Structure 1
Amino acid sequence: MDFDFSFFLLLATVVTGAIWGGYLLIHKSATDGLAEEKEPLLVEYAHSFFPIVLIVLLLRSFLAEPFRIPSGSMMPTLLIGDFILVNKFTYGIRLPVINKKVFELNEPKRGDIVVFRYPKDPSVDYIKRVIGLPGDKVVYENKKLYINDVPVNQVSLGRYQGLGQGQEMTGAEHLVEDLTGIEHSILIRDGMPSGQFVYVVPAGNYFVMGDNRDNSNDSRYWGTVPEENLVGKAFFIWMSWDWEHKGIGLDRIGTVLK
């Protein structure tokens, strides 16, 4: 069990619901036929907050959850300071806190941008792109991907011009990569180690990488993501705020992720 925000949100829902519900049961039996009395202050607070925390818990657990991008590992697709929404039900319905799946839906597809609990520290959420599915042979050589011995097509767009806190990536090679029909941008840095490997993805696991290939802590270094660690699929940028540079990125708000 993770003692994260979901845990405290569930705890708040249970506590406020118990206080309000308990008061109603006791008060009703004690005051049958008598005039209504004003609720005690604690019960009044519980009465006010219970519906709010319950709705937030349900929305956040089963529909969509907001996340903020803290690093440049998914540049140029996601920038530092982007606020995204993550679909919580696309890969199945899970119970909050214990993260037990109770309803199967879709499975991740190659190219999906996923949020997951970091396998080495499940209290930390990571965001990367799915590169390899269960059973796939993934090869990374000279900064090029091969999936099941088929090279992944890459087309260069020239040199990247970084924005805001991502200015350090100015000059990196900007490419469009085609993961079996899912086209997305990646960055490659000249002179950086390529991290060559050959890897066969185990059953029930997913091989993930950042779009900022030479500046991403991903499956190349710590292995695959177990299915039970998946949180959801990122699908929308609802706000973008660069604290150190341009402020609100109006051009990024409303971007649908792919």
Structure 2
Amino acid sequence: MYKKLGISFYKSIIPIYNIFLILKIHKKPIWWILFLVFPITSIFLFCSLCIDLLYFFGKTKNKDFFLFFLSIGIYIYYINYSNNIELLNKKIKKETGDNILFYIILSFITHTYIIQPFALPTSSMEETLLVGDFILVSKIHYGLRLPITPISIPFTHNTIFGKCKSYISSIQWPYFRFPTIQSIRRNDIVVFNFPKDFNHKVIDKKDNYIKRCIGLPGDNIYIKNGIVFINNKKEINSIKTKQVYFVKTKNIPLNIEFIKDHMNIKDIEIIGEKYNEYFYQMMLTEKQVFDIKNLFDNIVFIKKYILPKFFKEDSIFSNYLNWNRDNFGSLYIPKKGDIIELNSKNLHIYSDIIIYENNKKDFFIKNKKKYKIKNNYYFMLGDNRHNSYDSRYWGLVPEDHIVGKPIFIWMSINWDIKNPLNFFHWKFRWNRIMTTIDQKSYLFFVLIFLFIYIFSYFVFSYVKKNKYY
């Protein structure tokens, strides 16, 4: 191939420089060679160069491109070594295709290494994040984690068409994370890979979860009657947390449609009615409890539904103990370098960590008296405390499972959770569009920027058309 392109043998065998020469011949920007640094974008680069070679060898029919992709690139070798095929002197311009390819690669780099978009499918983080929020997650705040699976379908996570895996797990890069810009702080909202995803064994292909980090490495955490205590101090950031409340009214039932539409309370269940008294179960924040009490005069009581201390939830983390979602712990969150003294009381708590860190399902730990922790761990809770599948149920999150930090809500749509594709019932939440996670709005500035951009474009086009320069 290099011989037909007029490049000497000695130049063709110099790594990286030989790619530089091909880019120069194809009149590609030399900085495209940077795409070679990233495992998956290098595939895009080589595909682009091979397609250029098809054009250079005069293979411009649809069947040629079909054979190229069907053979996963091997077809280019057939063309290369065919004696009856000569290099065309006429070069075919494909500027539009190059631009499209460039923007695809640029967006893929951004998606993989800088900022990734996510959509909120569940209500576990209400009221902070709502179902239908589209967020941008920074992958560099907590240290960029390089992809572990280099061969995967771009712009997919772990599956396509529902169940088919979108990656090849047999080829993996070693785990590596760049230094952090910001360490995870208590009460940060964090996106991470679900540690107990047994369908996907590779870390970066496990399902993505989003929760609030309540416990940091080295913390001791427990929950008493629904109240979280960290290092024996009551949690501070609990204003937006939701819990289940029982509501009783007398004589007149609640106007549920009004509550849903005007008070933004979606989770309301009618329990029953007896002797002209009405009973409801609602997911409420403390502020919503206050608002309901002041708005309706016929309310008899609003009581928080707390599971009794000695009620055992079988699905709770470490189900050997009588813990539940409202009475949990105490639990020490290990940090890297900790030496844990194992005994009959904590062996079942830290066994998952020991097995994970040694990558052995049958790792023998019963006779171990001490174990040195290899990773930092975090305790994650959803803000919707009674409707969240979090660390209370599946345990701690290792630091190598951390994905990134949510920084922006670029779109928010109020849709029907049971039928989200019913576009006719979509309502835009204008007060949440183009806002930060803590609800600072930048929508006005975005609209101003778009107006200036569009106005400038039309002015420039008019000036250029009429040659006023």
TM bucket (normalised to shorter chain) is 0.7 to 0.9
Question: Which residues in structure 2 correspond to 1:91-170 (within 5 Å)?
Answer: 91-98=142-149, 100-105=175-180, 106-121=182-197, 123-153=206-236, 167-168=266-267
Correspondence 1:15-30 to 2 at 5 A: 15-24=43-52, 27=56
Question: Which of 331, 346, 363 is residue 199 of structure 1 equivalent to?
Answer: 331
* Match status 1:79 vs 2:130: yes
Partner letter of residue 214 of structure 2? I
- Between 1 and 2, higher relative CO (CA 8 Å, sep ≥ 6) is seen in 1
| Secondary structure of the corresponding residue to residue 76 of structure 1 | coil
Q: Which residue pairs with 2:90 in the alignment? A: 35
Choose which of 400, 404, 408 in structure 2 pairs with 1:232: 404
- The answer to whether the 8 Å contact 1:92/1:101 transfers is no
Unpaired segments ≥5 residues, structure 1: 1-9, 177-188
Call closer, same or farther: CA 1:155–1:17 in 2, change over 3 Å. Answer: closer
Secondary structure of the residue that 2:330 maps to in structure 1? strand
Q: For each residue in 1:66-91, what CA deviation from the matched residue of structure 2 results, as whole angstroms up to 9, or x when unmatched? A: 11111110011111111111111001
Percent identical pairs in the alignment equals 34
Residue 82 of structure 1 aligns with an amino acid whose one-letter code is D
Question: CA separation in 1, counterparts of 2:222 and 2:383?
Answer: 16
**Structure 2 residue matching 1:228: 3-state secondary structure:** helix
Looking at secondary structure, tell me which structure has more helix per residue. Answer: 2
How far 1:51 moved relative to its partner?
Answer: 1.3
Bigger radius of gyration, 1 or 2?
2
Distance 1:107 1:101 in 2: 16
When normalised by structure 1's length, the TM-score is 0.76
3-state SS of 2:195 partner: coil
Q: 1:163 to 1:237 in 2, by over 3 A?
A: farther
Is the Cα–Cα contact under 8 Å of residues 44 and 105 in structure 2 kept in the other structure? Answer: no
**CA pair 128-162 structure 1, distance change in 2 beyond 3 A:** farther
SS of 2:400's equivalent in the other structure is: helix
Q: CA deviation at 1:97?
A: 4.4
Q: Secondary structure at the match of 2:183?
A: coil
Kept in 1, the 8 Å contact 2:132–2:412? The answer is: yes
Q: CA deviation at 1:16?
A: 3.9
C-alpha change, 1:162 and 1:87, in structure 2 (3 Å) is farther
Once the two structures are TM-superposed, the CA of residue 166 in structure 1 deviates from its matched residue by: 5.6
Q: Is 1:53 the equivalent of 2:104?
A: yes
Q: 1:155: how far off?
A: 7.2
User: Do the aligned partners of 1:134 and 1:202 also contact (CA within 8 Å) in 2?
Assistant: yes
Q: Deviations over 1:193-222 (max 9, x none)?
A: 314221111221110100011111100111
Question: Would the alpha carbon gap of residues 92 and 154 (structure 1) be closer, same or farther in structure 2, given more than 3 Å must change?
Answer: closer
Paired AA for residue 143 in structure 1: G
Cα distance change of structure 1 residues 155 and 257 upon mapping to structure 2, 3 Å threshold: closer
Residue 50 to residue 156, structure 1, CA distance change in 2 (3 Å): closer
| TM-score for the superposition, normalised by structure 2 | 0.44
Tell me by how many angstroms 1:37 deviates. 4.0
Residues 222 and 327, structure 2, Cα contact 8 Å, conserved in 1: no
CA distance change for structure 1 residues 19 and 239 in 2, over 3 Å: closer, same or farther? same
Q: Secondary structure at the match of 2:210?
A: strand
SS at match of 1:198: strand
d(CA) in 2 for partners of 1:231, 1:154: 23
SS at 1:36 equivalent? coil
Instruction: Pick closer, same or farther for the CA change 1:163–1:213 going to 2, 3 Å.
Output: farther
Taking a change above 3 Å as real, the CA distance of residues 37 and 53 of structure 1, as seen in their structure-2 partners, is: closer
Partner of 2:285: 174
> Please, which runs of 5 or more residues in structure 2 have no aligned partner?
1-38, 58-79, 81-85, 150-172, 198-204, 244-258, 269-280, 288-302, 308-325, 336-375, 417-424, 439-469
Structure 1 pair 37–214 and aligned structure 2 pair: CA distance change class (3 A): closer
Question: In structure 2, which of residues 304, 325, 340 is the aligned counterpart of residue 190 of structure 1?
Answer: 304
User: Which residue in 1 is equivalent to 2:343?
Assistant: none
